[in-house]
Amino acid sequence: MNILVLQHLAIEHPGSLRDLWAAAGHRLTAIELDAGETIPPLEGFDLMVAMGGPQDLWDKDALPWMCAELAAIRHWVADLGRPYLGICLGHQLLAEALGGHVAPMARPEVGLAEVTRTAAGAADPIFATLPERLTTFQCHGAEIRDLPAGAVILAENAACPTQAIRWGHHAWGLKFHVEITETTVADWQAIPAYAASLREALGAARAATLVKEVAPLLPAFRASAAAMDRALQAALAPERALNAPLGGTRAGGYHVGPGSDRSPRLGHRRPHRPHDCRRDRRNPRPGARGDRASGRRRHGALRRALPQGGDRGP
What is the Cβ-side half-sphere exposure of residue 110, based on CA atoms within 13 angstroms? 20
Tell me whether residue 143 is one of the annotated catalytic residues: no
Q: Which residues are CB-neighbours of 216 under 8 A, at least 6 positions away? A: none
* Residue 97 lies inside a defined structural domain of this protein: yes
Looking at residue 285, what is its pLDDT? 44
Per-residue pLDDT reduced to its tens digit, 75-111: 999 999 999 999 999 999 999 999 999 999 999 998 9
Which among 12, 109, 156, 179 is annotated as catalytic?
Answer: 179
* Residue 263 lies inside a defined structural domain of this protein: no
Which among 67, 88, 139, 277 is annotated as catalytic?
Answer: 88
| CATH number for the domain harbouring residue 59 | 3.40.50.880
* pTM of the full structure: 0.79
Q: Pick the residue with more confidence: 32 or 289?
A: 32
* Residue 73 lies inside a defined structural domain of this protein: yes
Does the pLDDT of residue 260 top 90, yes or no? no
- Range with the largest mean pLDDT of 192-201, 217-226, 279-288: 217-226
Show the domain range for 48.
2-181+220-240
Cβ atoms of 173 and 121 closer than 8 Å: no
Helix %, strand %, coil % for the chain, to 5? 40, 20, 40
* Residue 101 lies inside a defined structural domain of this protein: yes
How many folded domains does the chain comprise? 1
> DSSP state, 286?
T
Tell me whether residue 179 is one of the annotated catalytic residues: yes
* Residue 269 lies inside a defined structural domain of this protein: no
* Residue 121 lies inside a defined structural domain of this protein: yes
Tell me whether residue 132 is one of the annotated catalytic residues: no
* Residue 308 lies inside a defined structural domain of this protein: no
* Residue 276 lies inside a defined structural domain of this protein: no
* Backbone torsions φ then ψ of 102, nearest 5 degrees: -110, 135
CA dist list (Å): 264 to 54, 306, 314: 34, 23, 24
Which among 177, 275, 277, 299 is annotated as catalytic?
Answer: 177
